[in-house]
Amino acid sequence: MKSLLLSGALLLALPVSASAQDKPDGKVLFRCQDVGHPVQEPLGDREGHAIEVAPYSCRVESGAWKDGVMTGTAIWEWDGPKATELSNSGVTRGPDGTVAYKGSGGELSLTMADGKVTGFTASGKGTNILVTGGWGKGMPPNYHWTAKPDGPAGQFIVDSVNE
């Protein structure tokens, strides 16, 4: 059940660096979905310890990278209802540039009601390691993000803010 609701949604460390003129609060909004059906793979050393490789794709809905498309893959280590981001990287492409990013420090927690998974909360940080075109002008490399479910299983929203 955990994987049905979350799968790749728990993957993110998304690139950001919105300029103040695009959005005064510096946020970039991503609308995302899992690619395929990522599942937790038990590691066999203890109950609830698993790894998940989660590919994802996102549309950039607002901010400096509006109309861009992002693809990436995150690797999560699960310990019961909580996960820690082990790896995350990807590329955002758009008419005004390209960004390659890597994530770090992501954490995810399942939300439960009556013993069933009802959603998740997630957050983390990242660094834009390559920025080209018009997107590269004066953008700070570091950002933080939060994610939450949006719609059917495997769909989620990510808010990312430059630091």
Q: What is the pLDDT along the chain (163 residues), one digit of tens a residue?
A: 344 344 444 444 444 443 333 433 567 899 999 998 889 999 999 999 999 999 999 999 988 788 999 999 999 999 999 999 999 999 999 988 999 999 988 999 999 999 999 999 999 999 999 999 887 776 778 999 999 999 888 899 999 988 8
**What pTM does this model have?**
0.83
Tell me how far apart the alpha carbons of residues 72 and 65 are, in angstroms, rounded to a whole number: 16
d(C-alpha 104, C-alpha 99), whole Å: 16
**Which amino acid does the sequence have at 48?**
G
Q: Write the burial class of residue 49 (CB in 10 Å: 0-12 exposed, 13-18 middle, 19+ buried).
A: middle
Q: What is the CATH number of the domain that holds 96?
A: 2.40.350
Count: domains in the chain:
1
Q: What are the beta bridge partners of residue 97?
A: 94
Q: What is the DSSP letter of 5?
A: H
> With the CA atoms of 33, 36, 15 and 111 taken in that order, what torsion angle do they form, in degrees rounded to the nearest 10?
60
Residue 82 lies in domain: 2-162
Euclidean distance between CA atoms 110 and 63, whole angstroms: 28
